[in-house]
Chains A and B, each alone.
Chain A
Amino acid sequence: MKPLVKMKNCIASIALTMGVATSAQAVDLEFYFPVAVGGKAADTIQALTDEYVAANPGVNIDAVYSGSYGDTVTKALTASRGGKPPQLSVILSVDMFTLIDEEVIMPFDDLVKTDEDKAWLQSFYPAFMENSQTGGKTYGIPFQRSTPVLYWNKEAFAEVGLDPEKPPASWEETIEMGKKLVKKDADGNTSRWGVRIPSSGFPYWLFQGLSTQNDVVLANSDGNETYFDDPKVAEALQYLVDLSTKHEVMAPGIIEWGATPKAFFEGQTAMMWTSTGNLTNVRENAPFDFGVGLLPGNKRFGAPTGGGNFYIFADSSDEQKVAAFDFVKWISQPAQSAKWTIATGYVAPRPDTWDTAEMKAYTDDFAPALVARDQLEFAVAELSTYENQRVTAAFNDALAAAITGTKSVGDALAEAQKKADAILKDYR
């Protein structure tokens, strides 16, 4: 008798595990996410994913931390070429054309069925969608997006007799105020610069702030034409170069991104341009009162957007695509989006997030977080073309050459345009 009972139990438990196994197999998603700003972002993504999986038993999401933005696009493309792509990934918005060119992603439009879905697709800030759409289709959904802002040291402003509540609003004011803010030590060496616009690695990003302020775009929205040799672009670059060479309000040479917040904390510069991704860092570490404002304008106000979008990979089953789409819709809802923004400092990509109670409490406590949102009105798409990395590399080289004085502004930009034309000619 006893052995029989045992066997029955055994069979029952096998059946049970099999049943569980089949239901868990319903839909498996692999989701790559990069982290560009420290540990809290990874924890938050994991927590949000777990929350979704708990509420949707039919779906399993394997959230894989995939390194920096650069590592993530490399991994996603390598995996796709190997025939095992992730179903979902956060990748830089500027890599959209590359991903289309490699034929690995699919437009969200193919998954949009209901009116509710259509309304959802319209719910994001247009400034963020510029980098997410091409040819009338939406390929990316804004998620960890940022924009550069101006940080200024109020104590330094007060020290030299400037109004600490009023940052420069124009290019000229940057120079005027910068000259007042420059401080020299007994040896005649500069111990504090007026402004710091970092230019290492990817100078094109902040430069795009300047070119936008000078009312010129760097590339068309089809991603196959660049305008690097436009006289207005040259004017903007000349201004950047002059800040160090002619007006001497900024340190000469290439300025390191990584050391920029530290230089600001140390009082080595009175103003800095850097990403909103640094808000929490500056808030926690600046030993003085600081302000956050729009980047100064010239012909207009202007700044690029930056950061990563959600992409759905084409080489997935229909069930996986639907599940991935549902997850993206869920995580971009105001409640989730607010959690994400508060934890990281990334700009919430849709207006209704800012109306949630959590966000209101957060911005009441920390008003500078609103500056990024207000700047979106003036923001434009980050420079993005086909063969994006090669084209921006050519442009970055030109900017670096002009900043370090090895080439004249005109020569450097003409050369970059020539290289970009050669690369992009196959896409026209």
Chain B
Amino acid sequence: MMHRREWVYGWLFLSPALLFLFTFTHYPAVKTVISSFYSTPKGRRPAKFIGSENYQTLIQDDVFWQVLVNNFWFAVGTIPISIGLALLMALWVNSKLKGRTLSRVAFFAPTVLPLIAVANIWMFFYTPGFGLIDQFRSGLFGLPAINLIGNPDTVLAAMIVVAIWKEAGFFMIFYLAALQSIPPVLKEAADVEGASSFYYLRRILLPLLMPTTLFVSINAVINSFRLVDHIFVMTEGGPDNASSLLLYYIYETAFKYWQTGYAATLTVVMLVLLSILAIGQFFLFDRKVHYQ
């Protein structure tokens, strides 16, 4: 009797979370997979089953492949640098330096600011002629104006810089919290043993930070697909799709071109990619992560 009641309690406690998870995560994911096999409904013509036609379109869609390659470079550009920068900043503001609180606030500020608003400020930095970067270039070095976001060769790099600036401070907070939970006796013991700071960092700090690194890197991977707000404001994916990312292309397909069936197909690709990457990371890091 008692057992049965506990079982009911368990489900009762779980149900709010389950309800939300099913409504907003699992049901839409399953629905997306189903929609990807249907045509786009238009006016009074309902969606009809078309098998793998959307997937064949996908394979022949040049823009899709270009966007995928862009997203790969966007991930390669943002993930390691933002994590490395976050670690450096955390180590720095964790030490005893003057104006420590101010530095922490400064590093964290980009996370708090809405990206749409900030993208407008970055637009000004990048503006050729009278933008901030060009004023430095011509004022200090007499260099000609440079059109960073109007050139397909540089636009993606310019977007990567904005993304790193946005997320490095966020990751720093996690590293900072982890650093502060490391017992100071370890540092004292290392000093007594005569270990150099670099040895201490390599053999003690970094291994102890591994759970945080795993968490942060999964977040960074997700962000490399998710962080597209600045694309809307700064380039709209241009010139000629040079700065378009997968999620932005999905938005365009669904809400600009109104091809909801094909957009579902693109979303399935993104779901699969994210799942593979997340699972892969767990396996890859598993042996190196030591939980205390």
Contact = CB atoms under 8 A, between A and B. Distances in A.
B42 A101 contact: yes
Interface in A235-275: 251-256, 258-259, 262-263, 266, 268
A263 B129 CA distance: 8
B142 to A, nearest CB: 4
B138 A187 contact: yes
A50 interface: no
A98 B259 CA distance: 12
Contact of B255 (A74, A186, A390, A398): A74
A396 interface: yes
Interface string B43-73: 1100000000000000000010000000000
Interface string B125-147: 00111100000001000111101
B151 interface: yes
Interface stretch (A9-17, A115-123, A175-183, A400-408): A400-408
B144 A190 contact: yes
Contacts of A96: none
B43 A200 contact: no
Among all A-B residue pairs, the 10 with the closest Cβ atoms: A103-B43, A254-B150, A253-B150, A400-B239, A187-B142, A253-B147, A189-B144, A400-B240, A401-B240, A390-B257
A251 B256 contact: no
A401 B236 CA distance: 15
Contact of A189 (B127, B138, B235): B138
A28 interface: no
Interface in A387-414: 387, 389-390, 393, 396-398, 400-401, 403-404, 406-407
B252 interface: yes
Contact of A190 (B42, B145, B235, B256): B145
Contacts of B142: 186-187, 189
Nearest to A71: B255
A77 interface: yes
A404 B257 contact: no
Nearest to B41: A81
Nearest to B244: A397
Contact of B258 (A98, A186, A258): A98
B130 A201 contact: no
Contacts of A189: 138, 142-145
5 contacts: A103-B42, A185-B138, A251-B145, A252-B147, A400-B238
A393 B252 contact: yes
B179 interface: no
Contact of B241 (A77, A266, A397, A407): A397
A393 B257 contact: yes
Contacts of A188: 144
A258 B131 CA distance: 13
A124 to B, nearest CB: 28
A36 B289 CA distance: 52
B130 A268 contact: yes
Contacts of B152: 400, 404, 406
Contacts of A70: 256
A222 interface: no
Interface of A: 70, 74, 77, 98, 101-104, 185-190, 200-201, 251-256, 258-259, 262-263, 266, 268, 387, 389-390, 393, 396-398, 400-401, 403-404, 406-407
Contacts of B278: none
Contacts of B239: 200, 253-254, 400-401, 403-404
Contacts of A389: 256-258
A387 to B, nearest CB: 7
A290 to B, nearest CB: 18
B123 interface: yes
A136 to B, nearest CB: 20
B257 A387 contact: yes
A404 B150 CA distance: 8
Interface in B265-282: none
B38 to A, nearest CB: 15
A21 B241 CA distance: 54
B123 A258 contact: yes
A190 B255 CA distance: 41
Given A189-B138, A400-B238, A406-B240, A266 B129 contact: yes
B149 interface: yes
A262 B259 CA distance: 37
Given A401-B239, A404-B152, A251 B147 contact: yes
A103 B127 contact: no
Contacts of A103: 42-44
A324 to B, nearest CB: 20
A380 B33 CA distance: 44
Contacts of B130: 262-263, 266, 268
Contacts of B138: 185, 187, 189
A102 B129 contact: no
Given A263-B129, A407-B240, 13 more contacts: A186-B142, A187-B138, A187-B144, A190-B145, A253-B151, A253-B239, A259-B123, A266-B130, A389-B256, A396-B238, A397-B240, A401-B239, A401-B240
A259 B43 contact: no
A424 B129 CA distance: 41
Contacts of A393: 252, 256-257
Contacts of B149: 254, 256
B193 to A, nearest CB: 58
A200 B149 CA distance: 10
Given A103-B44, A396-B238, A404 B151 contact: yes
Interface in B114-132: 123, 127-130
Nearest to B124: A259
